[in-house]
Structure 1
Amino acid sequence: MVEATGTVVDGEHGPELVFQRLYHLPAREVWAHIAKSDLLEKWIGRWETDKNTGRVIFYMTAEAGEPQGEECLVRSCSPPHRLMVDVRTPTGTWHLTVGISTNLDGTVLTFAHRLGRDDLASIGPGWEYYLDRLSAVLGGESADDIAWDDYYPAMSEHYAAMVPEGGVEPSPPKDGLEH
């Protein structure tokens, strides 16, 4: 049985769903699997840049069917420590942050999804699934060995119960992608 690891915390711009993973690898290797399209595709998807417009399009290739491109705005990129992106999805814009730090135990990846009107019952299990796929790849295993059915709907009730009292309000609009 896979265990839920995410927590809801009060982030700088409101509630965030946060996950951490510890790796016994150099920070640059973990970063490469977040930032390099060919390595990212091994566990979640790929990105492409339109040379004419500079737009970044993200394709979730780890799911069944033909992936639909989603516009991705890179807000901050400080290799190998921090990446902040806004991804326009069919349900709204997702504000995502990846932090990579090191300590005596190894390299810590912290992933945060700023909450808006997102459905925690599916968002939580989804990020658990994808982060475990990343862990498999970083461990030299196939991401395909990670089964979606172990996460959803098994973790849905746990994450649905994490919705902050009074619900979650969407973040105020900012420059760039609309909400």
Structure 2
Amino acid sequence: MTMTERLDVNPYGRVTEPATLVIERLLPGPASRIWSYLTDGEMRRKWLAAGSMEEKAGSTFELVWRNDELTDPPGARPEGFSEEMRMTSRVLEVQRNKRLVFTWGETGEVAFDLKAEGDEVLLTITHRRISDRANLLMVGAGWHMHLDILSAHLDGRRAEPFWDGWLKLKDEYDRRLPA
């Protein structure tokens, strides 16, 4: 079964409870391949953010975003966004090739769950304690666009310019998510 035949995985994130966004993506496996894109800083920088991480609960690490480097061309970076953003996180849970949970800045938390489905892997991201709706729109569009880039990378396709896609998705999430 290909990704296009599977209709029950909606590429858009959904709010499952106040301040929580869940987004799923079916990706080419195996789970160990996807795991490396979550935990290896050099692999993760290709789709999300750089930063070396120790796969051990309690360890801290820094995520370093350089979204202009994710696609060529990057698209026009919106006003108010810098070339580089940094955030310190702490690993909360590690189940190799299955589940990774870490803090998102001071207040949030992100869980990555991997589930094998034949030759593919269902990646579920659950982002908890998002501060407000404005942040929810940015986070929803962000995860969606970053996952589009990961998916394109895994399939050997070119992704849409990051910032152009992110801006379109932010408008789309504004329409889709409750006020």
Cα root mean square deviation, aligned = 2.7
User: TM-score, normalization: structure 2?
Assistant: 0.72
Q: CA 1:76–1:134 in 2, change beyond 3 Å: closer, same or farther? A: same
Identical aligned pairs, as a percentage?
A: 25
Q: How does 1:57-96 map to 2 (within 5 A)?
A: 57-63=62-68, 65-88=82-105, 93-96=107-110
* Residue in structure 2 matched with residue 55 of structure 1 by the alignment: 60
Correspondent of 1:139 among 155, 158, 162: 155
| Pairs aligned (count) | 152
Correspondent of 1:26 among 30, 37, 40: 30
CA distance in 1, matches of 2:149, 2:158: 8
CA distance in 2, matches of 1:148, 1:69: 18
C-alpha contact (below 8 Å) 2:98/2:115 kept by paired residues? yes
User: TM-score, normalization: structure 1?
Assistant: 0.72
Runs of at least 5 residues in structure 2 that lack an aligned partner in the other structure: 1-9, 69-76
Q: CA 1:24–1:68 in 2, change beyond 3 Å: closer, same or farther? A: closer
Richer in helix (by share): 2
C-alpha contact (below 8 Å) 1:17/1:112 kept by paired residues? yes
Correspondent of 1:5 among 12, 16, 38: 12
C-alpha contact (below 8 Å) 1:9/1:18 kept by paired residues? yes
Q: CA 1:113–1:103 in 2, change beyond 3 Å: closer, same or farther? A: same
* Residue in structure 2 matched with residue 148 of structure 1 by the alignment: 163
Residues 1:125 and 2:141 are matched in the alignment: yes
C-alpha contact (below 8 Å) 1:120/1:156 kept by paired residues? no
Displacement of 1:138 in angstroms is 1.1
